[in-house]
Structure 1
Amino acid sequence: MTFRLYDSATRTVRDLVTLEEGRVSIYHCGLTVQSSPHLGHIRKEVVFDVLRRWLEHSGYQVRVVANVTDIDDKILAKSAERGVEWFEHAYTFERELHEAYASLGCLPPSYEPRATGHVPEMVELIATLIKRGHAYPAADGSGDVYFDVQSWPAYGELSGQKIDEMAPAEDADPRGKRDPRDFALWKGHKPGEPETASWPSPWGRGRPGWHIECSAMAGKYLGDAFDIHGGGIDLRFPHHENELAQSRAAGRPFATYWMHNAWVTMSGEKMSKSLGNTAKVSEVTKTYDPRAVRYFLLAPHYRSTIEFSPGDDATRGSLEEAERAIGRIDSFLDRASEQVAEGSRGDALMDLPHWQAFAAAMDDDLGTPGAVAVLFEAIRAGNQALAGGDQEQIRRHYFAVTSMLDVFGLNPGAPEWAAQSAVDDLTPVVDKLVGALLEQRAEARRAKDWAAADAIRDTLAGAGLTITDTPDGARWSVN
C-alpha cells in the first residue's frame, strides 16, 4: 500500500510521490530557543519522529532537517532581562530542547542547522528577491528589507486566504513598508541592540527576519525542491505562508507536501509561552514515565488537538492511562521474551493479519489511533498464545509487537530507552548528591566567593557532568 498524507496546501489526502525514488526529504521548523520547551513544542518532534520511523521501516531513506532559530527579537529581550549575552541565553535553551526530545526517545535529525550559521545564504536569497522585484529596502534608511506581498499574486495559497482579506499583525511595525502586510526579510541594526546580534549586508548591518531563515536553510540542505515541509498548525500562517511565497518568488519550487500537527491546548487555549500556560517537558517527565508521555502525544491522530491541564482530572487520567498502557506493553514483552530465542525473527511479520492492519493504518495519513488499537489487539492475541503455550504464535506476536513499538519509538529495548534506563536507575541518588553541591555553589556565588563556586563546578565537570545556569536555577546533565 502507498503511504498517503494529508497535504495542508491542497487540503486533500495524497499519495506520497517523492522527487527521488526510494528517498524522502523532510524539513520541519525547529524551536526558537527563547525559553524552555513545553509539550506543545515536543509534540511536533514526536509526530515527525514517528513519520520518519515509519517511512524508514517502509524502505525509504529519509533525510530530516530541523532548524534552530537562535536569533530573534524575543531572544534579545529575554537575554537582556537575565543580564546575559543573547547567544548564551539561546544556547542554554537549545541544550534544553535537545534534552527534551532525547528524554522522549526522539531520534536526532539528520542535520540541525542554526540560523546564525547561515546568514550568507539568507543575504543571497534576499538579493535574489530584490532583483526579481519581490522585495525592497525600506526608504526610511532603517536598513530593513521587506517582501512585497502585492508583487506575488499567489500569496495566501497555503492558508487559503486572499491578500485583500488579510489584516496586518497587531504587533507589526508599519515603518518603511509599502503595504502594512509586507513582512521583514532583513532587520536593520537598532541603537541599543548588541553589536554581536548583527551581520554585514548590502543594506547595512542587521539580522535576518524569521521567515527567510527557514527558506535559506531548507534550500541549502535539501535543495530548491524537497518532499515534505511541516510543523505545528500555528506556523501555517504567517510563517509557512511567507516561506512559501518568498521561496517560490525566488524561483524555487520548495515543498511538494505540507504537513501540520494540531495544538496541545491547556483549558482550550493553545499552549503558549506568551500566555504562560506551559507544561515544561522537564517537569512533566519527572511526574510521569517518559515513554508514557510519548505515548500520550502520539496515540491521538496528529491532526487532532490534545488537551493538557495540570491538575485536571481528564488530563491526569489520560497520562495515568498512558502509564497503564505502557505497563500492559511491558508485561507482555517480559513474559513473551522468555520464550523467544534471539535472532529468530524470520518472516514473522508480513503474513500476520495484525501487522497488515497496523501497516494499513500507518499508511493512511499516519493513522496512529488505529495503529495503537491494532498494537493492543496483537498483545491480547499474544497473551492468549502465552496462556495456550503456542510457541510459534508467541514468537510471531512478540516480533509483531516489538516492530510496532519500534515504529512508535516505544520499544524499551531500543538504544534510546536502554541508555536512559541505566541513567534513571542512578538518577535519584546522583540528583541528591549533585543537588547538595549545587546548593553549596549557589551559596558561594551569593557570597561572591567565585573561587569556591568555580571549584565546585570544575569538580562536577571532572565527574562527567555539565552544569547549566538557567533562570530557574542550575541544572545538571550527563556529558
Structure 2
Amino acid sequence: MRTWTPPEIPEVEGNAPTLKLFNTATNKQQFVSVEEGVATLYVCGITPYDATHIGHAFTYLAFDLMQRAWLDGGVRTEYAQNITDVDDPLLERANATGVDWRDLAANQIALYRSDMHRLGMIPPEHFVAVTERIDEIAEAVHKLHQLGFAYKVPSPDGAADIYFDTQKASGSSEWQLGDISQYDRDLMLLLSKERGGDPERAGKRDPLDPLLWRGKREGEPSWETVVGEGRPGWHIECSEIAVSALGSAFTVQGGGEDLRFPHHEFSAAHATALTNMPMAHHYCHVALVSYQGHKMSKSRGNLVFVSELLDSGVAPGVLRLALLAHHYRTEWEWFDADLDLAKRRIAAWQTGFSRQSDDPLSAKTVVNQLRQEIANDLNTPVMLATLDAAWDRGVDDPQLLADATEALLGVTVRPLEAGQNR
C-alpha cells in the first residue's frame, strides 16, 4: 500500500548521543541498542474510521521524533506500520452508516495519509493493510495450531473459531504472560473485556486466550484459507506483518498506551511462539489524550480531527508545537488554547531568528542541549523551553538552530519577513 511523500530533513553538523527510552517491558529507561547501524521500528496503525484525531497524531508524532533522533545520529531506520482495514469496529461503523466497509476504509486511509503528509511525519517503508496479508496471517495461525499453541472453539452458529493457548505458550516459549504489559491477571481480565477480548466466551481454556481466527459469519467479510473460511483476529495480524517486514527481535514496538494490553502483550506472545525469539527488544507506549474532561475516544465521540484543524487554517508546524509541549508518556487534555500558545511560540521564535544580540548564545551549544534532551526519552517540553530561551536571547548562528529545530522536531523557523511557518 502506498504511503506519502517524506519530509525534507536538514543535516546538522555535530554528534548525537545514544537514544534512551522508557521500556514498558522492563519498567525503566534504557539505552536503545541498534544493530548494524539500522533501527527497526513497528508502530500499530489505525483502524480506518474516525481518522485522524489528535490522539492519533500525538502517538505518531512520538515515533516520528524517535526516527529523527536516530537519523540525526547517523542511524538508518526501517519503519513498518499496519492498517487494520477489516475489524469489528470498522464493520460496525460501516453497517451503521450504510457504507460499504471497503469504501469506508479506503476513504479514511486516504485521509490519514494526507494528514500525516501535511504534519511532516516520516512515512513507513512498509505500510501494510491486513487485507493484503490474509493468506500469510492464516498460515501463521495454521503454524501455531500445528505447534500446539492454538485450539478450536465451536460457536453456536456452527462456525469454528481458533484461539491462542495462553497457558501453553507461557510454559513452552520464551514469552510469559505479563512480560510486556507488566499487569496482574485481574487487570488483564478487566482490560480484555474493555478492549476487544471475550473473556466470558464458553469453551476457551483460559478466559484471557485471544482470538486468532474468526470463522465465517453471515454478512461478514471472509476469505478461504488454509485454516478455513473466515478472517484474522486482531493480535496475530500485527505479529505476522511486523515480523515479515522487520524480522524477529526488531528494535522497538510502539503504539498508544491502550495497546499495552491486550494487543502488544499477545502480539508478542504470537510472534515468540512462531519464531522462538522475542518480538522486539523495546516497547514504547504513548499516553492517551483527553478532551472535554474525558479520554478522547471513538466510542464517546469527543474527538478533535487533524484535517479539520488544518483545513481551518492552523499551520501544521503550529499543531506539531501544540503536541510537542507535552511529553509523550504524560497524559494530558487538549484545549483550544493549546493552539494559541503554539502560535505565540512560533511567532516568538521567528522574531528571534533576526534578533541582533550583544551577547548571543552559541547555536552549537543549544543544538547539543536539544540533542541531549531528545535522547533523554524524547523530552520535548525541555526542548521547547530551551528553544524559547535561545530565540529570546539570540544566537550566533540562527540558521544552524533553525535547521536543528526542523531536523529534530519537524518545525520550520524562518525570519518573519520570509513568510509563515509551514
Matched to 1:371, the amino acid is M
Cα pair 2:138 2:227 within 8 Å, conserved? no
Partners in 2 of 1:248 and 1:265 — Cα distance? 34
Aligned residue in 1 for 2:297: 272
2:181 is aligned with 1:191: no
1:288 to 306, 314, 325: 314
Aligned residue in 2 for 1:149: 166
Aligned residue in 2 for 1:401: 402
Aligned residue in 1 for 2:12: none
Cα pair 1:135 1:148 within 8 Å, conserved? yes
Q: Larger relative contact order (C-alpha < 8 A, sep ≥ 6)?
A: 2
1:367 and 1:165, CA in 2 relative to 1: closer, same or farther beyond 3 A?
A: closer
More helix by share: 1
Instruction: After TM superposition, give the deviation of residue 142 of structure 1 in Å.
Output: 1.6
Partners in 1 of 2:74 and 2:375 — Cα distance? 13
Partners in 1 of 2:187 and 2:390 — Cα distance? 51
Partners in 1 of 2:204 and 2:88 — Cα distance? 19
Matched to 1:400, the amino acid is L
Cα pair 2:84 2:129 within 8 Å, conserved? yes
Cα pair 1:198 1:206 within 8 Å, conserved? yes
Partners in 2 of 1:248 and 1:66 — Cα distance? 19
Q: Which runs of 5+ in 1 are unaligned?
A: 309-314, 338-347, 386-392, 422-479
Instruction: After TM superposition, give the deviation of residue 103 of structure 1 in Å.
Output: 2.4
Matched to 1:8, the amino acid is T
1:412 and 1:112, CA in 2 relative to 1: closer, same or farther beyond 3 A?
A: farther
Cα pair 1:169 1:181 within 8 Å, conserved? no
Q: How does 1:244-263 map to 2 (within 5 A)?
A: 244-250=268-274, 251-263=276-288
Aligned residue in 1 for 2:325: 299
Q: How does 1:7-156 map to 2 (within 5 A)?
A: 7-18=23-34, 20-140=35-155, 141-153=158-170, 154-156=176-178
Q: Which runs of 5+ in 2 are unaligned?
A: 1-16, 171-175, 357-361
2:257 is aligned with 1:236: no
Instruction: After TM superposition, give the deviation of residue 378 of structure 1 in Å.
Output: 2.3
Which consecutive segments of 4 or more residues in structure 1 shift more than 6 A?
Answer: none
Partners in 1 of 2:420 and 2:115 — Cα distance? 15
3-state SS of paired residue (1:144): strand
Partners in 2 of 1:215 and 1:138 — Cα distance? 22
Instruction: After TM superposition, give the deviation of residue 271 of structure 1 in Å.
Output: 0.7
Partners in 2 of 1:97 and 1:316 — Cα distance? 22
Instruction: After TM superposition, give the deviation of residue 376 of structure 1 in Å.
Output: 2.0
Instruction: After TM superposition, give the deviation of residue 138 of structure 1 in Å.
Output: 1.7
Aligned residue in 1 for 2:412: 411
2:401 is aligned with 1:374: no
TM-score calculated relative to the size of structure 2: 0.85
1:103-140 deviation per Cα after TM superposition (whole angstroms, max 9, x unaligned): 22212222211111011221121122112221112245
Matched to 2:55, the amino acid is G
Matched to 2:322, the amino acid is F
1:348-378 deviation per Cα after TM superposition (whole angstroms, max 9, x unaligned): 96xx221221111111111111111222222
Percent identical among aligned pairs is 34
1:40-99 deviation per Cα after TM superposition (whole angstroms, max 9, x unaligned): 111111111111112101110011111111001121122222323211111011111112
Cα pair 1:38 1:281 within 8 Å, conserved? yes
Greater Rg by CA: 1
Matched to 1:300, the amino acid is H
1:322 and 1:135, CA in 2 relative to 1: closer, same or farther beyond 3 A?
A: same
3-state SS of paired residue (1:113): strand
1:382-401 deviation per Cα after TM superposition (whole angstroms, max 9, x unaligned): 2xx6xxxxxxx2xx233123
Matched to 1:264, the amino acid is V
Aligned residue in 1 for 2:20: 4
TM-score calculated relative to the size of structure 1: 0.75
Aligned residue in 2 for 1:456: none
Q: How does 1:170-209 map to 2 (within 5 A)?
A: 172=198, 174-193=201-220, 197-209=221-233
Aligned residue in 2 for 1:159: 181
Matched to 1:239, the amino acid is H
Matched to 2:86, the amino acid is I
Residues 100-109 or 28-37, more deviating: 100-109
Matched to 1:50, the amino acid is L
Partners in 1 of 2:222 and 2:259 — Cα distance? 25
Cα pair 1:226 1:254 within 8 Å, conserved? yes
1:281 and 1:236, CA in 2 relative to 1: closer, same or farther beyond 3 A?
A: same
Matched to 1:274, the amino acid is S
1:234 and 1:31, CA in 2 relative to 1: closer, same or farther beyond 3 A?
A: same
Partners in 1 of 2:141 and 2:258 — Cα distance? 25
2:252 is aligned with 1:225: no
1:209 and 1:400, CA in 2 relative to 1: closer, same or farther beyond 3 A?
A: same
Aligned residue in 1 for 2:339: 319
Instruction: After TM superposition, give the deviation of residue 161 of structure 1 in Å.
Output: 2.7
3-state SS of paired residue (2:280): strand
1:426-469 deviation per Cα after TM superposition (whole angstroms, max 9, x unaligned): xxxxxxxxxxxxxxxxxxxxxxxxxxxxxxxxxxxxxxxxxxxx
Matched to 1:406, the amino acid is A
Aligned residue in 1 for 2:239: 215
Matched to 1:377, the amino acid is A
Partners in 2 of 1:184 and 1:27 — Cα distance? 22
